[in-house]
């Protein structure tokens, strides 16, 4: 079962301020400032406003909208009430984000009266607890359940019984397949395929021949097959950190220092999770909002600040800084636990392992900034202006 | 430009030419093939991805010399599907290619030829002649070990050495290393050590066949491969290849002779119980028997064995099955020798003194 709260942030605000009910509410940055839409109420969505849209665009689409700042604390409180409500229905609740969760309801008492009634019961329990509506999808696996919850929104309930996967997916467009990105969709469209039904006609071999390794996934997606389990605590898929600058800058040295600080933060979190990364992604957003990402993959997984920084720095050096930068971020991905494979050539990784063990000890005692990479020190003090926003 | 040439020969050349063309080229003209007719009776076809370039010279009936570029892939597809032995190619003054064959007429948008980057001229050249199959075998036995990790660019190719008349080819990705040698084949005074990029090696393996000799040309920064009607020129990877001799064990505690196919089949079977996340096979050598096991929490377990001549201590070591299979698949010998010392020291697969494959173990679970 997939439970997805409807326009969560906006709905919470409408609940809190009854005068905003039935009106276009847009939560996010405030107009005139920089930032994006975090959530838009269904009334606002009628104007074409959607999340992740720059706030200025939202304002021009819907000037009469009610613009509210993000109140993370309140949303988290409501969210945790919802999740504890859900936990009454199943021992296995996977919290996917602040406003959505997966429940493994296999064999749980709630399914005694049929799947549809189970959905009704969960929706009612959420409404009783927080007075908000949710859209629910029930299906034999997580992948289908997520698509199902999305088909009737808001306040929807969609059940896909086992055996009806193909029929359910058939009329949907390929865009609806969760996990298939925009570029892939374009790629599929280029082959004259627009619906999942068309994909279903192909054999696995044919899809692999057409789309390479992606064909395999498409084969299973189009047939609604997914073997991922509902797990209470999913290990992180990536660890990243980014900083938005209050005053945009073009100063390469300053950016390098910030990047080193971000690398340290990511390194600390990787080691805390006993994870190693085989890929580093650099993200830069210019004042024009043009956002670029550059990635580098490597064979030997790493979790040490200076190595993460050297990869990120290599990526940064290759980016022409022709415009002012408003945001810089680094993400470590392709995470794995410790590699058991031994290396042929002596690397200095083993020696520095001890170093980082000590560094982390010092940091946990005296604070994360107590000992840092030389590269993360901002050399030109007058560049350090107002506090920049950091976000994970 | 206007000529008539053999369709099959043209198509075969275009197939090789288009195989090196990159997909996301920043220079659009590089998706084209350069077609050139000078005063000789030849049609020269060139393609390049700036790392490796190939030129074919085809016999043709020349009606008018000239130069132009046409989309390589489309040319390949058209010449593949056409019916008829001879194909006529004429380029109009606005760079449109008119291709005629039997009753078919195809007009293809081209671009002027002057902008097309020419193959570099190989200057200050040393060269050797080597049988195509011999070269192919040397590359095939090493190429799979090339690293695809772009951060270790010196490993993104094969290290090709000529010294004292012998050729040695080495490739490694830092976890396994393949080395193959061919003795007394070159001029003893010739000294070469270069790193040939993976892309070039792969193209070359595709092209090489038969027992005819191919000429390898060595210049300071390029390597060329010349045969009858084809020249391939590749840039070299600059940098220093790691000191590979140091990681080849000088001695070993145990030596086991194995039937290659039987061993490969065993590894392949048990490896079915591994995946990318957990790919470790445990090899246990004990009295007259090699037992291979795999255990993966997500898939299941497997245990299988083969009879071997082994009288040493009960000994277990773990390897990545992919590394083990790569070498065994690339060989064609009946027997291989596996040399082992400690669970944390490299294992070595050997065939005579011509092939050496060093493979680092994994920490046992």
For A327-358, what is each residue's pLDDT tens digit? 999 999 988 876 678 888 866 555 677 788 88
pLDDT band of B154, cuts 50, 70, 90:
very high
Could B174 and A344 be called an inter-chain contact, meaning their C-beta atoms sit closer than 8 Å? yes
Residue of chain B whose alpha carbon sits nearest to that of A297: B149
Residue from A13, A43, A94, A100 carrying the catalytic annotation: A100
User: Average pLDDT for residues B340-351, to the nearest whole number?
Assistant: 94
Could A340 and B318 be called an inter-chain contact, meaning their C-beta atoms sit closer than 8 Å? yes
Which of the following CATH numbers is that of domain B248-359: 1.10.3720.10, 3.20.190.10, 3.10.150.10, 3.30.530.20? 3.10.150.10
Which of the following CATH numbers is that of domain B126-245: 3.40.50.720, 3.40.50.150, 3.40.309.10, 3.10.150.10? 3.10.150.10
Picking from A298, A341, A345, the nearest residue to B149 by CB comes out as A298
Domain B2-109: homologous superfamily in CATH: DNA Polymerase III, subunit A, domain 2 (3.10.150.10)
Q: Note which residues in 291-310 of chain A have CB less than 8 A from chain B.
A: 296-300
Domain assignments of chain B as residue spans, ordered by start: 2-109, 126-245, 248-359
Which of the following CATH numbers is that of domain A165-222: 1.10.150.20, 3.30.428.10, 3.30.360.10, 2.40.50.90? 1.10.150.20
Within a 13 Å sphere around the CA of B363, how many CA atoms are in the beta-carbon half? Answer: 7
Q: Does A276 reach chain B within 8 Å, measured CB to CB?
A: no
Could B174 and A299 be called an inter-chain contact, meaning their C-beta atoms sit closer than 8 Å? yes
pLDDT band of A383, cuts 50, 70, 90:
very low
Higher local confidence (pLDDT), B301 or A357:
B301
A chain contacts of residue B361, beta-carbon cutoff 8 Å? 342
**Edge-to-edge order in the sheet of strand B347-351:** B192-197, B157-163, B166-172, B176-182, B355-359, B347-351, B335-340, B254-259
Percent of chain A predicted with pLDDT > 90: 24
Domain assignments of chain A as residue spans, ordered by start: 1-136, 165-222, 238-391
What is the least distance, in Å, from the CA of A310 to any CA of chain B?
Answer: 11
- Mean pLDDT of the residues in chain B: 92
A chain contacts of residue B363, beta-carbon cutoff 8 Å? 340, 342
Do the domains B248-359 and B126-245 match in fold? yes
Candidate ranges A102-111, B36-45, B49-58; pick with highest mean pLDDT: B49-58
Could A342 and B242 be called an inter-chain contact, meaning their C-beta atoms sit closer than 8 Å? no
Does the domain at residues A1-136 carry the CATH identifier 3.30.540.10?
no
Per-residue pLDDT tens over the stretch A135-160: 999 999 888 899 999 888 889 999 99
Residue of B145, B146, B149 to mutate, testing the A interface (most A Cβ within 10 Å of its Cβ): B149
Could B151 and A296 be called an inter-chain contact, meaning their C-beta atoms sit closer than 8 Å? yes
What is the least distance, in Å, from the CA of B152 to any CA of chain A?
Answer: 8
Q: What sign results for the dihedral spanned by CA atoms B79, B82, B85, B86? A: negative
pTM, 2 dp: 0.65
Could A344 and B277 be called an inter-chain contact, meaning their C-beta atoms sit closer than 8 Å? no
Q: Of A275-279, A304-308, A381-385, B67-71, which range is least confident?
A: A381-385
Residue of chain A whose alpha carbon sits nearest to that of B347: A344
Could you tell me which CATH number the domain at A238-391 has? 3.30.1490.100
């Amino acid at each position: 079962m997939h439970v997805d709260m409807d326009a969560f942030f906006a709905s919470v605000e409408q609940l809190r301020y009854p005068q905003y009910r039935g009106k276009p509410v847009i939560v996010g940055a405030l107009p005139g400032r920089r930032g994006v839409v975090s959530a838009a109420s269904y009334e606002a969505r009628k104007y074409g406003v959607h999340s992740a849209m720059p706030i200025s665009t939202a304002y021009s689409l819907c000037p009469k909208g009610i613009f509210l700042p993000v109140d993370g604390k309140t949303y988290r409180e409501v969210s945790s009430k919802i999740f504890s409500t859900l936990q009454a229905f199943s021992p296995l609740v996977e919290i996917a984000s602040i406003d959505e969760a997966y429940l493994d309801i296999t064999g749980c008492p709630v399914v005694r009266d049929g799947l549809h009634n189970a959905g009704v019961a969960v929706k009612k329990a959420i409404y009783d607890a927080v007075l908000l509506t949710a859209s629910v999808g029930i299906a034999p696996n997580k992948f289908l359940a997520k698509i199902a919850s999305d088909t009737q929104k808001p306040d929807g309930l969609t059940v896909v019984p086992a055996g009806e996967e193909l029929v359910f997916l058939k009329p949907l467009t390929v865009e609806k397949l969760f996990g298939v990105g925009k570029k892939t969709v374009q790629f599929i469209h280029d082959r004259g395929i627009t619906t999942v039904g068309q994909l279903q006609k192909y054999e696995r071999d044919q899809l692999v021949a057409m789309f390479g390794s992606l064909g395999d996934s498409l084969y299973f997606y189009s047939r609604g097959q997914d073997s991922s389990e509902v797990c209470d605590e999913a290990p992180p898929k990536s660890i990243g950190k980014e900083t938005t600058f209050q005053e945009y800058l073009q100063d390469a040295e300053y950016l390098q220092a910030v990047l080193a600080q971000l690398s340290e933060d990511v390194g600390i979190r990787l080691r805390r999770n006993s994870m190693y990364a085989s890929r580093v992604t650099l993200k830069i957003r210019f004042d024009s909002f043009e956002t670029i990402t550059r990635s580098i993959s490597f064979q030997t997984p790493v979790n040490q600040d200076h190595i993460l920084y050297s990869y990120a720095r290599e990526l940064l050096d290759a980016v022409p800084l022709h415009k002012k930068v408003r945001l810089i971020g680094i993400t470590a991905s392709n995470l794995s636990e410790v590699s058991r494979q031994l290396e042929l050539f002596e690397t200095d990784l083993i020696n520095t392992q001890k170093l980082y063990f000590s560094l982390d000890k010092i940091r946990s005692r005296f604070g994360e900034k107590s000992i840092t990479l030389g590269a993360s020190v901002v050399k030109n003090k007058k560049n350090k202006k107002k506090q920049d926003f950091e976000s994970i | 430009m206007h000529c008539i040439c053999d369709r099959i020969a043209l198509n075969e050349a275009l197939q090789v030419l288009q195989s090196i063309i990159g997909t996301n080229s920043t220079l659009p003209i590089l998706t084209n093939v350069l077609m050139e007719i000078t005063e000789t009776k030849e049609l020269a076809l060139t393609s390049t991805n700036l790392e490796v370039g190939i030129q074919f010279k085809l016999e043709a009936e020349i009606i008018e010399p000239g130069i132009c570029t046409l989309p390589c892939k489309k040319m390949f597809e058209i010449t593949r599907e056409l019916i008829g032995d001879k194909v006529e190619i004429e380029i109009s003054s606005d760079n449109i290619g008119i291709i005629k064959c039997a009753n078919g007429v195809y007009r293809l948008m081209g671009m002027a030829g002057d902008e097309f980057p020419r193959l570099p001229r190989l200057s200050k050249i040393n060269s050797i002649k080597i049988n195509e199959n011999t070269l192919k075998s040397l590359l095939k036995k090493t190429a799979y070990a090339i690293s695809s990790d772009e951060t270790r660019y010196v490993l993104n190719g094969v290290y090709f050495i000529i010294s004292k008349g012998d050729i040695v080819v080495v490739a490694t990705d830092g976890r396994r290393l393949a080395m193959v040698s061919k003795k007394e084949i070159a001029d003893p005074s010739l000294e070469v050590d270069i790193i040939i990029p993976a892309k070039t090696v792969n193209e070359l393996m595709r092209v090489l066949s038969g027992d005819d000799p191919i000429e390898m040309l060595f210049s300071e920064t390029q390597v060329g491969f010349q045969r009858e009607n084809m020249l391939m020129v590749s840039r070299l990877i600059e940098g220093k290849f790691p000191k590979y001799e140091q990681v080849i064990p000088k001695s070993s505690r145990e030596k086991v002779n194995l039937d290659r196919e039987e061993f490969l089949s065993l590894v392949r079977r048990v490896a079915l119980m591994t995946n990318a996340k957990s790919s470790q096979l445990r090899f246990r050598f004990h009295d007259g028997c090699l037992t291979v096991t795999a255990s993966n929490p997500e898939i299941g377990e497997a245990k299988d064995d083969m009879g071997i001549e082994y009288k040493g201590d009960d000994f277990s070591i773990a390897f990545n099955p992919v590394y083990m299979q790569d070498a065994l698949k690339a060989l064609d010998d009946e027997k291989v020798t596996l040399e082992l010392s400690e669970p944390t020291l490299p294992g070595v697969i050997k065939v005579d003194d011509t092939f050496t494959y060093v493979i680092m173990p994994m920490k046992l679970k």
